[in-house]
């Protein structure tokens, strides 16, 4: 990830994989049920199925991209929020 340091660059885009950012909001809607405690089975979540569901919906994505989106969605859900565009 690139960092900005000077004051005139403040607010510049720091993310390098724009494709992930473009699909994140749709991906979050797909992944949200996998992180919901109400959907646990015998006290275990279905996070392992989240990777499969995302890869089936976006087959063009690499395994690394799928991992990044699932991890980011998990953090957003744990924070009690929804992703902000």
Q: What residues contact residue 71 under an 8 Å CB cut-off, 6+ apart?
A: none
Instruction: Report if residue 42 sits inside a domain.
Output: yes
Give, to the nearest 10 degrees, the angle between helix 47-57 and helix 63-78: 130
Burial class (CB in 10 A: 0-12, 13-18, 19+), 57: middle
Instruction: Report if residue 2 sits inside a domain.
Output: no
Instruction: Give me the number of domains the chain comprises.
Output: 1
- The tens-digit pLDDT sequence of the chain (85 residues) is 444 445 555 566 666 777 788 888 889 889 888 887 777 777 666 788 899 999 999 999 999 999 999 998 888 888 877 776 6
What is the phi/psi pair of residue 36, to 5°?
Answer: -75, 120
Instruction: Compute, in degrees rounded to 10, the torsion defined by CA atoms 15, 68, 28, 60.
Output: 90
Instruction: Report if residue 8 sits inside a domain.
Output: no
pTM of the predicted model, to two decimals? 0.71
Which domain does 60 fall in, by range?
17-78
Instruction: Report if residue 54 sits inside a domain.
Output: yes
């Amino acid at each position: 990830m690139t960092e900005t340091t000077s004051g005139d660059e403040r607010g510049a885009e720091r993310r390098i994989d724009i494709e992930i950012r473009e699909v994140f909001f749709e991906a979050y809607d797909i992944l949200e049920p996998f992180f919901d405690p109400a959907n646990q089975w015998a006290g275990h979540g279905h996070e392992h199925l989240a990777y499969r569901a995302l890869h089936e919906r976006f087959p063009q994505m690499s395994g690394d991209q799928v991992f990044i989106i699932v991890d980011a969605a998990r953090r957003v859900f744990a924070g009690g929020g929804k992703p902000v565009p």
